[in-house]
Structure 1
Amino acid sequence: MFNFSEKISELKSSILYVVFLAGSLLIGLTWLSIGLYNALKLWVGTPWSSFILALIMLLPVAIHLLVKAFTADQPAKANTLSSQPRPAVDPSGALLSQIMGAVAGQSTLIVTVVTLLASFIAVRFPSFLGMFAQVVTAFVDDMKLRPAAAATPRKPRRKATADVDE
């Protein structure tokens, strides 16, 4: 049986994991580069420290390019993605376009947040994308109805006998 609260709990923990991992990676790399820059400034002097730091940061890219240049191309396997049959319709693409069409008239912040969430859900949890599309469409429809509901005048409340002053 499908346990919705368990799936939402897994989704929340997965999102938190990715956010915390990216944040700690960014903070760690920042402090590493600051410390390395200060050490290089002491060892080689101010003009050369930033140049050497840039070379150190580009070292993984250079190693990757060297390995790629000197390895022989492997023959294409029969199980490549292009040889596999493709489905007739990509439901995630249709759902993403439906979501983008629904939020087209909203503010830039809402469009950005919805786009990021939809792309994350499409990659990580594609089965939840249809449900997310329905939630977004209902939210946008509700946002469109709110100004119309606020503009309609309300009937004045009848005073009860207890409300009348004697």
Structure 2
Amino acid sequence: MNFRPGLPCAVLLLSACAATPRTPSPPVPATPPPPVHATVGTAQEAFVPLASASGSLVSGRASLLAADGGVRVTGEVGGLVRNGAHGLQVHERGDCSAADASSAGAYFDPAAGADQRGVVAGAGTLRIVADAEGVARFDLQVPGAVLGGGAANDIAGRALVVSGATPGSFSARVACGVIRVVR
């Protein structure tokens, strides 16, 4: 038998390492489940003052009321292209601070909720039409939306954006306001 003088030391060191207690890894935080769609929100009414964006002279107001199957949006917007169709959309963030309202983020579809992948901007655009004076009065519904409660389809705290009209398409964001719960 061949004796190696360093072998007993190596065995002793390895056995000492195996006996050393290991510090446990910190637990991986659980990912919270995605918010569910609600059929009813916690609020009944919201208000949106619409201020001009993108250098336009467009402004107005909208009232939102909880309704069966969605949120009813009524209001008036002036300074629009006369006799023109315009878009009215909910956007993902309640931030109208950018001059062009781009801070409001992308279009928000309450039916898709928090997961906006694959949502086509404009797919759920509410159409408003200005009269000969450039004023649009509207009474529309945002299907599938609720007010308050934090569900995936909650639109409280998000932005309401008016898109300007050009022949055949919608263009710049011409007004923006944050949806604020009243009651």
Q: TM-score range by the shorter chain?
A: under 0.3
Higher RCO structure (Cα 8 Å, ≥6 apart): 2
- In the superposition, the TM-score normalised over structure 2's length comes to 0.19
Structure with a larger share of its residues in helix: 1
Structure with a larger share of its residues in strand: 2
- In the superposition, the TM-score normalised over structure 1's length comes to 0.20
